[in-house]
Structure 1
Amino acid sequence: MKLSLILATFCIVFSNFIFGQNNFSNNPLDAIFETKDSKFFWEVFDKMDKSKQNPFIEYMQKGSPGVKGFTENRIINADSLFAVVKKRKADYELSRNVLDGISSKEKRVRAIYSALKYWYPNAKFPPIYFVYRRFNSGGTSAPEGIIIGTEMLKNLDGVSGLIAHELVHYQQNITGKDMLLKWCLLEGGADFIGELISGESINKFSYKYGDQNLDKLCQEFVTRLKKTDYQDWLYGTSKKDDRPNDLGYWIGYKITESYFNKQKDKQKAIEEILNIKDPMEFLKQSGFLDAFIEKYQKSKKENYSEFFK
C-alpha cells in the first residue's frame, strides 16, 4: 500500500505529550520490533468460525502496550473489532503474511535510528508495535511507542520511511501559538528529518502536486497560516479543487528545508527544528515565503515586518 494513503489515515497529533519519553532507550541499537500481536491476531482470527464467543476478547486482554495504545480511539473494544473483522475478513487476509520479511526492515530501521543519533545526540528510541485494528489508522505515535496498523499493509515497501517520520515526532517539542503554521512545521519537520535519516520520501504524490502548484499554494498559505482552520492543508480537503490531502506536510517541509539550508551548523539546525519555540520567527528566518508575504502585505498596504507581529 502506498504510504501516502497510510499517512492520510493517521490520527493528528495536537499536543507534545508523547515527546521526549524518558523511559525509552537512548541507544539506537536497542530498537524493539514487537510483532507478537500479529501472531496472536491470526490465532484468534482462525477461531472465529468455531468459537461460541468473541475470540478477540482474548486478543485484547493479552495484547501488548501497542494494542492498549490503539484501543481507546481506534480499536474501541473487542466487539467493535470483531464486527469489522467479520465484515472485512477477505481484506484482513491480504495482510496475513505481510510481516514475513520484517527482519530485513529491522536492520534498516536500526541504521535509521543510528543516523538520527548522529544528527541529534539526545534522541530517544521508542519500541515499534505491529498490531491489528479496524482499518481506521495506518499508525501513530503514542506514549507506548510507534504503533503500526498492520492490516493496512499489503507489503513492507516504505515502512522504514514511515517509522522514521514517526520517530521524529518523539523528539519534537514545538511550542508557540496554535495556528496552521505550527502544525505544518510539526509534520513537515518530521518529513524533512525523516527523509534525512532514511533517504525515503513518504509523501511523493502530494509533494509533486505542491511543487507543480507552488505559487498558487504559497499565496493561499500566506493568508491562512495564522488561522486554526486546517481544512485543505492537513488531514482532509473541502474538494474545492484537485489538491491531495496533507499539503501542509509539503509546505512545512519546504519551510524547514529552507531554514536548514541557511544554517552553517547543520546539527544545531536539526536541534532547532525539533525545538521550535516561535513558529512565526522560524518562518521569518527560513525566508521561504518572503516574496509571497511581501506581495500580500503590499495588497494590505502594510510593511513586511508587520506580518510577523
Structure 2
Amino acid sequence: MKLSLIFTTLFILFSNFLFAQNNFSDSPLDAVFETKDSKSFWEAFDKMEKSKQNPFIEYMQKGSPGIKGFTENRIINADSLFAVVKKRKIDYELSRNVLDSISFKEKRVRAIYSALKYWYPNAKFPPVYFVYGRFNSGGTSSSEGIIIGTEMLKNLDGVSGLIAHELIHYQQNIKGKDMLLKWCLLEGGADFIGELISGESIHQFSYQYGAQNQDKLCQEFVTRLKKADYQDWLYGTSKKDDRPNDLGYWMGYKIIESYFNKQKDKQKAIAEILNIKDPMQFLKQSGFLDVYIEKHQKSNKESYDDFFK
C-alpha cells in the first residue's frame, strides 16, 4: 500500500488538548520505540492451524499500550482479528519481515526527535508502537502514542517522515474556531516542521499538483477557508475535478512556509507555528494569499482588513 494512502488513515480524531496533555518524555533519548507486538502477532499467527482456541486472545491481552490504543474502531477484539487474518493470510505474510531493519529507522527517528528538540526545546516525545490490526488503518495518533498498523507496510520507506509528521501533532496547540483554515494550518504545520526535522516530504503528489495549479487553488481557498467544510481539501474529494486528496496539507504548508520565511528568529517562529492563537491573523501575517484576498474583497466591495474580522 502506498504511503500516501497509509498516511490518510492517520487523520487525527483527537483534539489538540489531548496531545498537549501527556506524560511523554522531554528527552529524545528516552523515547520508546516498541516492536514487541509484532513478535507476539507472528507467534499467534503460526499457531492458527494447530490451536483449538483463538491464538490472538493472548496477543490482545499481553499487548503493549499500542494495542490498547489500536483496539477501538480498528482491531475491535480478538475474534474480529482472527477472522480477518484467516481470510487474508497471504496478505499478512507480505509484512512478516518488514521490521527486520527497524533498528536503522529507530536511529533515524531518534535523530529526528533530537532535531525537534533543537527547534522547540519544550517538545514532548511520544512512544512509537508497531502493531498488527485488520487492514483497516495504517495507524493513528492517540493518548498512548504514535501507533503504526504494521500489516499495511511492505517496506519501511517513508516511515520516519510519517513519524515526524505525527510527532508534530503532539506539540501543536492551535486555537480558534472550527474552520478549514485552522485544520489546514494544523496539517500543513505538521508537514512543514516534520520535513524540517526529517528532510522527508510525505505528500509529494498532492504538493506537485498544488504547485502546478496554485493560482486556481488559491482563488478557491479564499472563498472556502472560513467554512467548516473540508471536502475537496482534506480527507476526501467530491471528484469534481482531477485533484488528489489532502490539498489542504499543501495549502497549510505554503502559508506556514511564508510566515516562517518572514521571521528573523526562526526558533521563535517554530514556537509560534505550533501555538497559533488566531488562524486568521496568522494568515494575514504570512501574506501568502494577500493578492487573492485583495481581489476577492474588491469584487465584494469590501476592504482587505474586513476579510480578517
- Coarse TM-score class (shorter-chain normalised): over 0.9
In the other structure, the counterpart of 1:60 is: 60
Equivalent position amino acid for 1:104 in 2: F
Q: What's the C-alpha RMSD, in Å, of the aligned pairs? A: 1.1
**In structure 1, C-alpha distance between the alignment counterparts of 2:25 and 2:290, rounded to whole Å:** 40
Q: Single out whichever of 75-84 and 145-154 deviates more from structure 2.
A: 75-84
Q: CA deviation at 1:50?
A: 1.9
**In structure 2, C-alpha distance between the alignment counterparts of 1:231 and 1:150, rounded to whole Å:** 29
C-alpha contact 1:236 1:246 (8 A) present in aligned 2: yes
In the other structure, the counterpart of 1:3 is: 3
**In structure 1, C-alpha distance between the alignment counterparts of 2:13 and 2:212, rounded to whole Å:** 28
Equivalent position amino acid for 1:185 in 2: L
Q: CA deviation at 1:17?
A: 3.4
State the identity as a percent. Answer: 87
The SS at the match of 1:202 is coil
Question: Is the counterpart of residue 262 in structure 1 residue 262 in structure 2?
Answer: yes
The SS at the match of 2:151 is helix
Q: CA deviation at 1:18?
A: 3.0
In the other structure, the counterpart of 1:226 is: 226
**In structure 1, C-alpha distance between the alignment counterparts of 2:128 and 2:213, rounded to whole Å:** 36
In the other structure, the counterpart of 1:197 is: 197
**In structure 2, C-alpha distance between the alignment counterparts of 1:30 and 1:159, rounded to whole Å:** 20
Question: Residues 14-53 of structure 1: matches in 2 within 5 Å?
Answer: 14-53=14-53
C-alpha contact 2:22 2:143 (8 A) present in aligned 1: no
Q: Single out whichever of 161-170 and 16-25 deviates more from structure 2.
A: 16-25
In the other structure, the counterpart of 1:74 is: 74
Q: Decide whether aligned partners of structure 1 residues 12 and 26 sit closer, same or farther in structure 2, where only a CA change above 3 A counts.
A: closer
**TM-score, scaled to structure 2:** 0.97
Equivalent position amino acid for 1:151 in 2: E
Equivalent position amino acid for 1:291 in 2: V
In the other structure, the counterpart of 2:135 is: 135
Q: CA deviation at 1:22?
A: 4.0
**In structure 1, C-alpha distance between the alignment counterparts of 2:21 and 2:167, rounded to whole Å:** 12
**In structure 2, C-alpha distance between the alignment counterparts of 1:63 and 1:142, rounded to whole Å:** 16
Q: CA deviation at 1:51?
A: 2.0
In the other structure, the counterpart of 1:245 is: 245
In the other structure, the counterpart of 1:12 is: 12
In structure 1, stretches of 5+ residues that fail to align are none
Equivalent position amino acid for 1:290 in 2: D
4+ residue segments displaced more than 6 Å: none
**In structure 1, C-alpha distance between the alignment counterparts of 2:79 and 2:239, rounded to whole Å:** 34
Q: CA deviation at 1:12?
A: 3.1
In the other structure, the counterpart of 1:168 is: 168
Equivalent position amino acid for 1:106 in 2: E
In structure 2, stretches of 5+ residues that fail to align are none
C-alpha contact 1:98 1:154 (8 A) present in aligned 2: yes
C-alpha contact 2:10 2:141 (8 A) present in aligned 1: no
